[in-house]
Amino acid sequence: MFKERLLTPGPTIIPQKVLQAMELPMLHHRSEVFKKELKKACEGLRWLLSWDNDPLFLACSGTGAMEASLLNVCKPGDTIITVNGGVFGGRWSKIAERLQLKAHEITVEWGCPVTEEQVREAVTKNPDARAFCIQHSETSTTVLHPVEKIVREVKRLAPHILTLVDGISACATAPVPGDPSVVDIFIAGSQKALMLPPGLSVVALSARAWKAVEETPRRSLYFDFLLERKSLASGETSWTPASTLIVGLNAAIEMFREEGLEAMYKRHLTLSRMCHAGMRALGCELLAADAPCPSVTGFIPPQSIDADKLRTETRTNYGVRLAGGQGLFKGKIVRIGHMGFVDPFDAITGVSAIGLTMNKLGASVDVGAAVSAMMKELQS
């Protein structure tokens, strides 16, 4: 018997309850039954995000929602400020280039969070910037940026700058970092802690962001937020939606309501602390040790062990699938995803499998000590 365990930072494990909801006979997306599902998803997301208006549903992955957001509030020639401390921060600038926007990058050392000082300097240098773009958790470096403090500072210095927050890997693992008075656009993606397959993105906009959308020349048909808002007002989406995932989202949100938001965020923090304690006990260096995100733990194995080999061997011997490094960190780090439908025993299994693999690869680590360190965190 070989049991596979998906401990990657997306896609993630899908609970049985969500799978069963998505297995029901296909609904037509213009039917009254589906309209009810869409309405329920809007209400559920308003609750989950503590948002004051209905979010949009886009049938695309997270990158599509990032691009759609910039397309709808910026016009060619506009300047945006981006926080580039990893692959996803860098993605804002890549999108900007395609959309003919000027990106002023705040370069952040990989593994570190952006500071208020860096942001103040960038905003002061670019007072006419149209938007400020940041990740809540930078999945590639496992950093949680102090977004709430940062967006409040941006708004204090320049209230006209729109704040765009990529919450793709943070949503449902940590509270939304601010309400629509300071966060103008918040983006979430299905294949992360929302516990769904890939293919659905959610974009929530503030009243200020909606005003900006109204003022911005339309440049895309598929990603026209004004059309989407109009369709949503009549209970539909403009194009064929990822309807099965929207039905699944309602089942996922029911599970979130049962657990409660505070308990859910606390569970993710506990998982993060457990994984940090376990990996430290195995002699590995932790990434982002001072600002870890609650959804994924990154570590650097000892020099004698190749990071990619460690990952492959953990998967082939123990069925635990982990993620590797991206960009600058390619081949250098390993990431344990613990977002969504993950409990402490999944984390213990993951770290134990890594420890056993390290020993197979020639290290001499005490796997029991790692489990014990994790148990201590669980019971603290």
Ligand X SMILES: Cc1ncc(COP(=O)(O)O)c(C=O)c1O
Query: Rule CB under 6 A: which residues touch ligand X?
Result: 10, 61-63, 88, 135, 139, 166, 168-169, 189
As measured in angstroms, the least distance from the Cβ of 189 to ligand X is 5
Closest residue by Cα to residue 278 from 139, 144, 372: 372
As measured in angstroms, the least distance from the Cβ of 186 to ligand X is 12
As measured in angstroms, the least distance from the Cβ of 139 to ligand X is 3
- Tell me if 349 sits within 8 A of 275, measured CB to CB: no
- Altogether, the residues listed in the chain come to a count of 380
Query: Which CB sits closer to ligand X, 201 or 357?
Result: 201
Query: Which CB sits closer to ligand X, 170 or 279?
Result: 170
As measured in angstroms, the least distance from the Cβ of 187 to ligand X is 8
Q: What six digits make up the tokens of 137?
A: 């958790």
Could you tell me which residues are beta bridge partners of residue 162? 131
Tokens 């729109």 appear where? 162
What b/e string do you get for 332-347 counting C-beta neighbours within 10 Å, with b at 16 or more?
A: ebbbbbbbbbbebebb
Closest residue by Cα to residue 200 from 245, 135, 248: 245
As measured in angstroms, the least distance from the Cβ of 249 to ligand X is 15
Query: Which CB sits closer to ligand X, 71 or 374?
Result: 71
Query: Which CB sits closer to ligand X, 11 or 302?
Result: 11
Query: Which CB sits closer to ligand X, 66 or 373?
Result: 66
As measured in angstroms, the least distance from the Cβ of 192 to ligand X is 7
Query: Which CB sits closer to ligand X, 44 or 189?
Result: 189
Query: Which CB sits closer to ligand X, 134 or 277?
Result: 134
DSSP symbols for 25-69 = PPPPTTSHHHHHHHHHHHHHHHHHHT-SSPPEEESS-HHHHHHHH
As measured in angstroms, the least distance from the Cβ of 295 to ligand X is 9
Question: Closest residue (Cβ) to ligand X?
Answer: 62
Angle at 166 between CA 165 and CA 169, to 5 degrees: 135
Query: Which CB sits closer to ligand X, 302 or 324?
Result: 324
Query: Which CB sits closer to ligand X, 11 or 283?
Result: 11
The count of C-alpha atoms lying within 13 angstroms of the C-alpha of 215, restricted to the half-sphere facing its C-beta, is: 9
Distances (CA, A) of 348 to 10, 30, 45, 340, 361: 19, 45, 31, 16, 20
As measured in angstroms, the least distance from the Cβ of 72 to ligand X is 17
As measured in angstroms, the least distance from the Cβ of 1 to ligand X is 31
Q: What six digits make up the tokens of 213?
A: 């959308």
Distances (CA, A) of 152 to 157, 166, 361: 9, 16, 48
Tell me the residue type at 14: I
- Tell me if 339 sits within 8 A of 295, measured CB to CB: yes
Query: Which CB sits closer to ligand X, 162 or 165?
Result: 165
Beta strand pairing call for 162-166 and 185-189: parallel
Tokens 């962001």 appear where? 209
DSSP symbols for 317-358 = HH-EE-EE--GGGTTT-EEEE--SS--HHHHHHHHHHHHHHH
As measured in angstroms, the least distance from the Cβ of 172 to ligand X is 13
